[in-house]
Amino acid sequence: MISLRGLATGIGSLPYTDPDQAVDVVLKYLPQAPFWPQLPKIDMREGMIAQFSQNLPCLKITPDGLYFDPKHEEQELESFYEQVIAHNLDHFRIGPDYAAGLYEFHEKLAKIDLSKIEFIKCHVTGPLTFAAGLKDENGIALLHDKVFMQVIIKGLVMKALWQVKHFSAFGKKIIMFIDEPYLSGLGSAFTPLNREDAAKTLVEFAEAIKSENTLIGVHCCGNTDWSVLTENKYIDIINFDAFGYLEKFIIHAQDLKKFMERGGIICWGIVPTQEFTGRETAELLVKKIDNGISVLAGKGVDEKLLKSNLLVSPSCGLGSLESEKPERILQLLAAVSENLSHPGGGKG
């Protein structure tokens, strides 16, 4: 069982337009579990859906945005499945025009001392969020198209596996986050997604990218039915907004108990992003984590597991913030991590 105790990592996006600056900030404040940064302010192709759309059938990108075009559907589907069956990961690579931060990150890792790095954190937009964000020619979300749901699942799996391959040369374990903000609407009358379908999709997706050297995490920055993730045996890490939704999260103590007992890891999104004021302190945020651990322990979740299998992160991505805030947020996150991992940090 891995003992983490407060290791810090990031979610995905940063607001910088200079990839070099973005990667330097990541490596400075998250030296043990750095991530490649999405940079949506550089280009619309770096948006969380567009970034993973390259070479997926019937998805076209123009200066006006990403859209679904079924004009050559049959031919494109045939070509797509030929590449999937051949397991041609390079066909599904994320190109430099879609992820400048990924390539800058890889280039820098090849030049620096990697001895402090324990994990390299990657990420892919989850199939539910991806499919919900795209509509067919009739204005209906691809989430309801059985053919294209399978296309999206398989295509995004290939993009996740390409990342694992791309960074495997560095000899570090990979953390692969599946970013699923759409899960926050699960169970809502306004979200046409039922629990069974969501759970089945995420099992299929996580199983396909799971490997011995890859930890699979799911990030959801709102509240959801967390049992969908705790019951998924292929998911190692649950990342939640601990700053804004701690009280709702701990309601699921019995599900979390089983998750922790099978080796699960909780990544506490403890540093606020949109709500960040600059008045937050590491001590207060650590106290919030400690209080959450105490409540969960009181409900039967093993306290030692909660403390040892613990990651920290910002509550969400930072890509939409003003450019001066992300570094302050990551600096605060590093202080929280130090407080937790130091023998005197946190409780016990």
Residue 345 — very low, low, confident or very high, per pLDDT cuts 50/70/90? very low
What is the total count of domains within the chain?
Answer: 1
Amino acid (one-letter) located at 210: K
Whole-angstrom distance, CA of residue 346 vs CA of residue 338:
10
Question: Does residue 253 belong to any structural domain of this protein?
Answer: yes
Whether residue 188 has pLDDT greater than 90: no
- What is the per-residue pLDDT for 3? 57
Q: Mean per-residue pLDDT for 88-111? A: 98
Question: Does residue 214 belong to any structural domain of this protein?
Answer: yes
Whole-angstrom distance, CA of residue 59 vs CA of residue 125:
15
- Determine the straight-line distance between the first and last CA of the chain, rounded to whole angstroms: 20
Structure tokens at 214: 């890859």
Whole-angstrom distance, CA of residue 194 vs CA of residue 137:
24
Partner residues linked to 316 by β-bridges: none
- What is the per-residue pLDDT for 347? 42
pLDDT tens digits along 46-65 = 999 999 999 999 999 998 89
Local structure of 32: helix, strand or coil:
coil
Whether residue 2 has pLDDT greater than 60: no
The answer to whether 115 and 122 have CB atoms below 8 angstroms apart is: no
Q: Mean per-residue pLDDT for 191-209? A: 93
Question: Does residue 163 belong to any structural domain of this protein?
Answer: yes
Q: Which residue's entry shows tokens 């599900």? A: 255
- What is the per-residue pLDDT for 39? 97
Whether residue 1 has pLDDT greater than 70: no
Look at the chain and count its residues. Answer: 348
Question: Does residue 1 belong to any structural domain of this protein?
Answer: no
The answer to whether 100 and 42 have CB atoms below 8 angstroms apart is: yes
pLDDT tens digits along 253-311 = 999 999 999 999 999 999 999 999 999 999 999 999 999 999 999 999 999 999 999 99
- What is the per-residue pLDDT for 173? 96
CA dist list (Å): 43 to 55, 91, 209, 269: 18, 22, 28, 27
- Report the range of poorest mean pLDDT among 127-131, 213-217, 323-327: 323-327
Question: Does residue 310 belong to any structural domain of this protein?
Answer: yes
Local structure of 256: helix, strand or coil:
helix
Whole-angstrom distance, CA of residue 100 vs CA of residue 103:
6
Task: Report how many helices (DSSP H) and strands (DSSP E) the chain contains, helices first.
Answer: 12, 9
Outline where DSSP puts E strands in the chain. 7-8, 59-62, 65-68, 119-125, 173-179, 214-220, 237-240, 265-271, 310-314
DSSP secondary structure, 108-152, as one string: HHTTS--TT--EEEEEEE-HHHHHHT-B-TTS-BGGG-HHHHHHH
- pTM, two decimals, is 0.94
What is the CATH number for 36? 3.20.20.210
Question: Does residue 2 belong to any structural domain of this protein?
Answer: no
Amino acid (one-letter) located at 262: R
Question: Does residue 348 belong to any structural domain of this protein?
Answer: no
- What is the per-residue pLDDT for 341? 81
CA dist list (Å): 229 to 113, 259, 338: 35, 9, 28
pLDDT tens digits along 221-261 = 999 999 999 999 999 999 999 999 999 999 999 999 999 99
Residue 37 — very low, low, confident or very high, per pLDDT cuts 50/70/90? very high
Q: Mean per-residue pLDDT for 170-191? A: 89
Higher confidence at residue 316 or residue 193?
316
pLDDT averaged over every residue in the chain: 94
Whether residue 343 has pLDDT greater than 70: no
Q: Mean per-residue pLDDT for 195-218? A: 96
Q: Which residue's entry shows tokens 């043990």? A: 32
Question: Does residue 117 belong to any structural domain of this protein?
Answer: yes
CB burial readout 205-231, b (16+ within 10 A) else e? bbebbeeeebbbbbbbbbbbebbbbbe
Structural domain that includes position 250: 7-341
